[in-house]
């Protein structure tokens, strides 16, 4: 009976307690021996064995505090890590200098005439400063030869990366100016191969996109350790990941700017499939991939990942007017080649490679990110590959409050 009566006191006290604010009071209990009162959510009971008085401390935050705690826990979940595998970021800010080397390749293939044109921009050497705050890294790079041109450059690249333990996001804005070269030709005869390496001013490329991905084993695997330098991977670990991306590509193409050895070749007729003014397509893809962080020495990390993707492309190709098509190119063509819209599924790939040294204060390393997009049609296929190779060195500063002591 005494035990039952004691529990009734506790239950009545709990019900009578206000739901807001912090309260503490004393409940008088009848003598009893070895009474064990379990903890309940938000309540703590302490027994004074000399007076048999039970002190009940109830912590019940107001509704606004509960909401704030939920939001805080949600945000903290993005960076929840196992510290035996990952050393958390101890600083608020980071600064680094980066050298960026971009490469790009467009391959147009005509299956009907077995002809191929491959274009790529001239090599560029760029560098610039980057400033990071926890998850976000923002920077801008300049071409080395832009100093001679009054900082005017035909190429513009803007990248915003958001990294956390659980999720990652990349924003891409690339504008490749009119500085392409004709790297390779096929199907035009041996004499046409002499034009390989010549400048081609009839191409202008624009790429805009967003890429987001989820890391399954985010408590033990750190993408930021390899590509944001904000954490340090202490033990080797791998993970599966899934992602979604939306990228828009725009290719302005003037075939009149091609060498006459291709466009006016009597022995090898120039394919009508290459005669368009603008190629614009939006790629929406879902990817599933695997990444592995290899800690081969203290403070050293090598990361490699690959993410095959199924992409759905919405393509719009603007053909040139019929009256501009050479007669030699339309002998067997009566209808326009390109419908205004072409929808299709295709196979894409995103690959990443990172090598970094990081002692939590200073860091240096390199990273390589490659994107490959494919479009295939019964008469035309387009392969677009672009990526960046970065070399960087930097340091973290302004320690977080919990690490200052």
Q: Per-residue confidence at 139, pLDDT binned at 50, 70, 90?
A: confident
**CA nearest 246: which of 288, 189, 207?**
207
Q: What is the pLDDT of residues 220-256, one digit of tens each?
A: 999 889 988 888 999 999 999 999 999 888 888 888 8
Mean pLDDT for 302-329 is 73
Domain 86-403: state its class. mainly beta
Poorest-confidence range of 32-41, 205-214, 367-376? 32-41
Residue 401 reports pLDDT greater than 90: no
Residue 317 reports pLDDT greater than 90: no
Query: What is the per-residue pLDDT for 146?
Result: 60
Q: What is the pLDDT of residues 75-89, one digit of tens each?
A: 666 667 899 999 988
Q: What helix, strand, coil percent values describe the chain, rounded to 5?
A: 15, 55, 30
Percentage, residues of the chain above pLDDT 70: 68
Tell me the average pLDDT of the chain.
75
Q: What is the pLDDT of residues 335-355, one digit of tens each?
A: 344 444 445 788 889 899 999
Element (H, E) at 183: strand 180-186
Residue 333 reports pLDDT greater than 70: no
Query: What is the per-residue pLDDT for 241?
Result: 95
Residue 323 reports pLDDT greater than 60: no
DSSP single-letter state for residue 19: S
* Residue 303 and residue 354 in contact, taking contact as beta carbons nearer than 8 Å: yes
Q: Where are the domains of the chain?
A: 2-71, 86-403
Separation of alpha carbons 109 and 256, rounded Å: 18
Separation of alpha carbons 397 and 403, rounded Å: 12
* Residue 356 and residue 229 in contact, taking contact as beta carbons nearer than 8 Å: yes
Q: For residue 158, give Cα distances in angstroms to 96, 172, 174, 176, 290.
A: 16, 6, 6, 12, 27
Q: What is the pLDDT of residues 266-295, one digit of tens each?
A: 788 888 888 878 888 888 899 999 999 999
In DSSP notation, 236-299 reads -EEEEEEEEEEEEEEEEE-GGGS-HHHHT-SSSPPPGGG-EEEEEEEEEEEEEEEEEEEEEETT
Mind spelling out the 3-state secondary structure of 338-377?
Answer: CCCCEEEEEEEEEEEEEEEEECCCEEEEEEEEEEEEEEEC
**Pairing relation of β-strands 91-110 and 380-399?**
antiparallel
**CA nearest 239: which of 299, 310, 304, 311?**
304
**CA nearest 379: which of 289, 317, 298, 311?**
317
Instruction: Identify which has the larger pLDDT, 49 or 321.
Output: 321
């Amino acid at each position: 009976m005494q035990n039952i009566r004691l529990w009734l006191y506790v239950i009545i006290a709990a019900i009578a307690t206000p739901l807001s604010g912090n309260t503490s009071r004393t409940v008088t209990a009848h003598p009893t021996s070895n009474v064990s009162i379990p903890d309940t959510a938000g309540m703590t009971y302490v027994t004074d064995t000399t007076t048999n008085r039970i002190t009940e401390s109830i912590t019940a935050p107001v509704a606004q505090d509960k909401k704030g705690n939920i939001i805080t826990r949600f945000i903290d979940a993005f960076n929840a890590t196992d510290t035996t595998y990952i050393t958390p970021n101890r600083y608020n800010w980071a600064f680094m200098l980066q050298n960026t080397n971009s490469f790009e390749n467009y391959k147009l293939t005509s299956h009907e005439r077995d002809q191929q044109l491959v274009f790529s921009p001239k090599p560029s050497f760029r560098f610039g400063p980057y400033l990071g705050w926890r998850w976000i890294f923002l920077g801008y790079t300049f071409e080395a030869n832009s100093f001679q041109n009054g900082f005017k450059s035909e190429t513009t690249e803007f990248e915003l990366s958001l990294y956390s333990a659980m999720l990652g996001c990349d924003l891409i804005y690339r504008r490749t100016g009119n500085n392409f070269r004709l790297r390779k030709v096929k199907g035009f005869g041996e004499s046409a191969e002499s034009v390989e390496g010549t400048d081609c001013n009839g191409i202008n490329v624009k790429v805009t996109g967003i890429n987001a991905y989820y890391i399954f084993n985010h408590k033990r695997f750190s993408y930021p350790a390899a590509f944001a330098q904000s954490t340090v991977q202490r033990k080797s670990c791998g993970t599966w990941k899934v992602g979604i991306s939306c990228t828009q590509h725009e290719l302005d193409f003037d075939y009149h700017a091609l060498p006459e050895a291709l466009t006016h070749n009597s022995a090898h007729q120039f394919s009508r499939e290459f005669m368009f003014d603008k190629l614009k397509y939006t790629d929406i893809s879902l990817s599933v991939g695997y990444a592995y962080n290899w800690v081969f020495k203290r403070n050293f990390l090598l990361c490699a990942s690959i993410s095959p993707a199924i992409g759905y492309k919405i393509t719009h190709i603007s053909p040139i007017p019929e009256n501009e098509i050479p007669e030699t190119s339309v002998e067997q063509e009566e209808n326009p080649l390109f419908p205004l819209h072409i929808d299709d599924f295709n196979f894409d790939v995103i690959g990443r490679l990172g090598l970094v040294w990081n002692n939590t204060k200073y860091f240096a390393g390199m990273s390589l990110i490659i994107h490959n997009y494919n479009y295939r049609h019964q008469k035309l296929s387009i392969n677009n590959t672009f990526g960046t190779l970065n070399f960087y060195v930097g340091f973290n500063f302004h320690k977080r409050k919990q690490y200052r002591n």
